Amino acid sequence: WDKRFMLNTISAAGAEFVADIFLCPFEATRIRQVSDPAMAKLSLPGAAQAIVAQNGLIGGFYSGFIPMLFKQIPYTIAKFVVQDFAAEAIYQVVAPKRDVSGATKFGISLTSGVIAGVTAAIISHPADTLLSKINKAGEGGEGNMFVRMGRIASSIGIKNLCLVGLPARCVMIGGITAGQFGIFDSMLPALGVEKFHWHNPASHH
């Protein structure tokens, strides 16, 4: 019980690291297709083949792997840990025994999802900006990903890196995350499954 948030953090980080290994090539291809008119004319497999031909497998698909980790791991940790913490705090105020109606549960899921989504957006925004830049052809000049990231961060500036586009991202991620947890928490009862909750062993259930 006392280590529940640490366990949630470790499990979320581990799951996201594995997921990013598979996600990174798709994200690199997507960004190149959005930013490069020639790539935009190709199909997803065609653009991926062109990227590998131009930059190699590692350089083409994984040049943004480190910024993706800095973006996605804090994002996922914040999303799940903050949502769990927020929902628990709301339940402690509304109904400590969680004996509430379905509509109230749905409302708590949406509210905690918004809180988690906005937190995740704020934490991951600088890395998201770097990721979108480093996957564009020529951004950051020559050198390894750390050198290029340094140049990009220096040219953008820390303030702009953290704040430009943040309000829109908070609205988008807050809404998406609220929807995700709302749907998830609604589907479980419909399927006859009860959501797992940490329980304080000192309390009586």
pLDDT, tens only, 128-171: 888 788 767 667 777 777 788 888 888 888 888 889 999 999 99
pLDDT score at 114? 96
Would you say 126 and 161 are in contact if contact means Cβ atoms under 8 Å apart?
yes
Distance (Å, whole) CA 100 – CA 185 = 13
* pLDDT-derived band at 172, boundaries 50, 70, 90: very high
| Amino acid type, 156 | I
pLDDT score at 110? 94
Within 10 angstroms of residue 150's Cβ, the number of other Cβ atoms is: 12
pLDDT score at 50? 93
Q: Sign of torsion, CA 148 150 156 161?
A: positive
Would you say 143 and 122 are in contact if contact means Cβ atoms under 8 Å apart?
no
| HSE of 60, CA atoms in CB hemisphere, 13 A | 16
pLDDT score at 204? 54
Closest C-alpha among 106, 91, 131, 112 to residue 177: 112
Structure tokens at 181: 């947890």
Cα–Cα distances (Å) from 6 to 18, 61, 72, 107, 170, in that order, read 19, 32, 18, 26, 25
Q: What is the average pLDDT value for the chain, to the nearest integer?
A: 87
Within 10 angstroms of residue 163's Cβ, the number of other Cβ atoms is: 14
pLDDT score at 156? 87
